[in-house]
Amino acid sequence: MKKIVLIMLLMALGLQAQEATTESPLAKKKGVLDKKGSIFAYWGYNRSFYTDSDIHFKGKGYDYTLRDTAASDRQSPFSMVYLTSGTIPQFNFKLGYFLTDRSSISIGTDHMKYVVDRPQTVIIDGTDHNGNVRNEDKQQIDGFVSFEHTDGLNYVNVAYEYNLPLWVSGSEEHALSLVVGPGVGVLFPRTNVTLEGYKPRNDKFKIAGYGLDGHAGLSFDFFKYFFVRGETKVGFIHMPWIDTTPDSSDSASQYFGFVEYTAVLGVRY
């Protein structure tokens, strides 16, 4: 994390110095809102919340669904891990390009985490992996199945954004803007699933589905090349291709909504 921030700072400062030495005194000095053709990148962290989900498990000899299953994210406790190993916490990374002074496209990763709450009692329908036929039976999840996307629930997405300036300083080096836009992408999770008493978990990265989102936030640009941003993202995730064990016949599927709050630090050049 320290190296990433240092590289971002050096790049921006180098470009600022180059501009100062090459710009003619008669040339128009570009302000913070003159963004067309520039590239930006940011890094930060998130907190996520999920709607309840029906999780469908199937394989040889079993086919059942856990109804209205609750899940939470797994936020890393605040510690030096946020500076020494930025990929362990729930993080966000984005790289983008300004098509105009106000609109941009970008690609990035939202590294969220999704953990089915345990203990929890849910309704189960179908035939479980022990051969028991269930018909809306209530089941205590703890000791039966564990299910989580903790390495993580990786939403790799492409986004369009529109920047609406709300305030700009007299020097045109600082500005506050509203940022809004839609996004679409694929889910590339590493899913940890344990079907109690059945088989080892799969524990491999795989494209498991897709997502859609809309986001809005406030971005504060300072000294033209740097910005901090707070953002709220609301979206939908559908994962029909989740691997649960090394056996290709074992799988799971689910869909759910999410709300994600992010805080990031970025650079534009």
Q: Which domains does the chain have, with CATH numbers?
A: 2-268 (2.40.160.20)
pLDDT of residue 201: 81
pLDDT of residue 240: 98
Alpha carbon of residue 44 to chain centroid: 10
Question: Cβ contacts of residue 86 below 8 Å, gap of 6+?
Answer: 1, 4, 43
Q: Please state, as a whole number, how many other Cβ atoms lie within 10 Å of the Cβ of residue 21.
A: 6
pLDDT of residue 30: 77
| Dihedrals phi, psi of 14, to nearest 5 degrees | -65, -40
pLDDT of residue 29: 57
Cα angle 1, 147, 200; round to 5: 100
Residues of the chain short of pLDDT 70, as ranges, are: 1-29, 79-87, 197
pLDDT of residue 32: 92
